[in-house]
């Protein structure tokens, strides 16, 4: 049974109350056949425990790396993935879609 | 995001109220807009639309981009009758992220052994429905075949904003039901809200197939706006 996006946000709150540093990644825009719709969340803590998904696995690794920077400096970031992007060769979406992901720290 | 803001958003969900988290993506500024506050918000119209579709997304205003995280309460299916069809329906509904509650005053049927994963209330529907609150994110499904149990549930459902009402039984059974409910003061328009015979016509035979047809009809009602033939 997969978790719904709201369950994921409840877990983010619980993790934060346990004293863990938490970043929330949210899909804000998609083009083409992106695997997860806008509003999908991925929650990451400082030990790279994760819950949820922003792409069904294709770009999670890169989002987690970015989330570590966001946890470190507290600055929200917007990152884009897609076939038109240079990074596509490393972490692209095999389905040919493009997505923008907003990553922020929970304070 | 501030933890207090996330806590407020989660609290709205627990209370089964819709809410939108508005994020200015350039500045990172955020606010929570509860369903009741939408009208007074500068993004009122956009928020209204996002709630109608239940869809998160970007909107633009005065050259600024805002991301709307739309949170709708979980869809609940209240099933009257701890019967065979309900036993097939409960696990399927979970797979669809639907919260199922089973109600049946007959204690021989309404047991946790028969329904290991969902709340089972061995109560009369008219006693318990006001308590659990039938809102517009709720579907009410009457499956006992017994007017003594189904009718009070249907009356409560018809007086509520619930988005789906379904009742098991043949056309003949439903005709008699319509007569009874008309006698109880419900109008013809009220009674058209009841899907009966219940479920999409897929020629269902077994309890599991009937459960599929009921759940398909609930999803079809829920996603009405997206249906190509609608």
| B47 and B41 Cβ atoms separated by less than 8 Å | yes
Domain range summary for chain A, segments of one domain joined by +? 5-106
Cα B160 to chain centroid, rounded: 11
The model's pLDDT over A9-45, given as tens digits with 9 standing for 90+, comes to 999 999 999 999 999 999 999 887 777 889 999 999 9
**What's the gap in Å between the CA of A41 and the closest CA on chain B?**
10
Query: What domains appear along chain B, each with residue ranges and CATH number?
Result: 3-71 (no CATH), 76-226 (3.40.50.720)
**Do residue A28 and residue B70 have CB atoms under 8 angstroms apart?**
no
Instruction: Report ipTM for this prediction.
Output: 0.84
Q: What is the DSSP string of B110-135?
A: --TTT-TTS-EE-S-HHHHHHHH---
Strand stretches in B51-148, DSSP E:
57-61, 64-71, 76-80, 99-103, 120-121, 138-142
Q: Which pLDDT value is given to residue B53?
A: 77
Contact B10 A13 (CB under 8 A): yes
Q: Any chain A CB within 8 A of the CB of B57?
A: yes
For the segment B48-97, what is each residue's pLDDT rounded down to a tens digit?
A: 888 877 889 999 999 999 999 999 888 999 999 999 999 999 999 999 98
Euclidean distance between CA atoms B94 and B114, whole angstroms: 16
Q: A89 vs chain B: nearest CA distance in angstroms?
A: 27
**pTM of this prediction?**
0.73
């Amino acid at each position: 049974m997969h978790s719904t996006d709201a369950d994921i946000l409840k877990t983010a709150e619980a993790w934060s109350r346990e004293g863990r540093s938490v970043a929330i990644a949210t899909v804000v825009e998609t083009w083409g056949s992106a695997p997860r719709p806008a509003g999908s969340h991925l929650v990451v803590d400082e030990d790279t425990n994760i819950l949820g998904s922003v792409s069904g696995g294709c770009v999670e690794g890169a989002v987690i790396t970015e989330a570590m920077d966001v946890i470190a400096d507290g600055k929200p970031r917007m990152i884009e993935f897609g076939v038109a992007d240079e990074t596509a060769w490393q972490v692209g979406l095999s389905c040919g879609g493009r997505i923008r992901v907003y990553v922020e720290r929970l304070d | 995001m501030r933890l207090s803001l996330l806590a407020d958003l989660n609290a709205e969900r627990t209370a089964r109220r819709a809410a939108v988290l508005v994020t200015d993506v350039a500045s990172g500024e955020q606010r929570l807009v509860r369903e009741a506050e939408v009208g007074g918000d500068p993004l009122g119209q956009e928020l209204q639309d996002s709630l109608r579709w239940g869809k998160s997304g970007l909107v633009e205003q005065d050259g600024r981009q805002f991301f709307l995280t739309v949170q709708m309460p979980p869809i609940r299916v209240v099933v009257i009758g701890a019967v065979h069809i309900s036993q097939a329906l409960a696990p399927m509904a979970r797979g669809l992220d639907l919260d199922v509650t089973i109600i049946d005053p007959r204690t021989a049927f309404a047991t946790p052994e028969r329904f290991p994963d969902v709340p089972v209330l061995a109560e009369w529907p008219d006693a318990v429905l006001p308590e659990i609150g039938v809102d517009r994110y709720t579907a009410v499904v009457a499956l006992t075949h017994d007017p003594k149990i189904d009718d009070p549930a249907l009356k409560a459902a018809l007086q509520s904003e619930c988005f789906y009402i379904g009742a098991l039984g043949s056309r003949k059974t439903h005709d008699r039901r319509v007569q009874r409910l008309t006698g109880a003061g419900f109008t013809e328009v009220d009674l058209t809200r009841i899907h009966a015979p219940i479920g999409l016509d897929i020629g269902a035979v077994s309890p599991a197939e009937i459960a599929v047809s009921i759940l398909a009809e609930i999803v079809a009602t829920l996603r009405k706006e997206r249906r190509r033939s609608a």
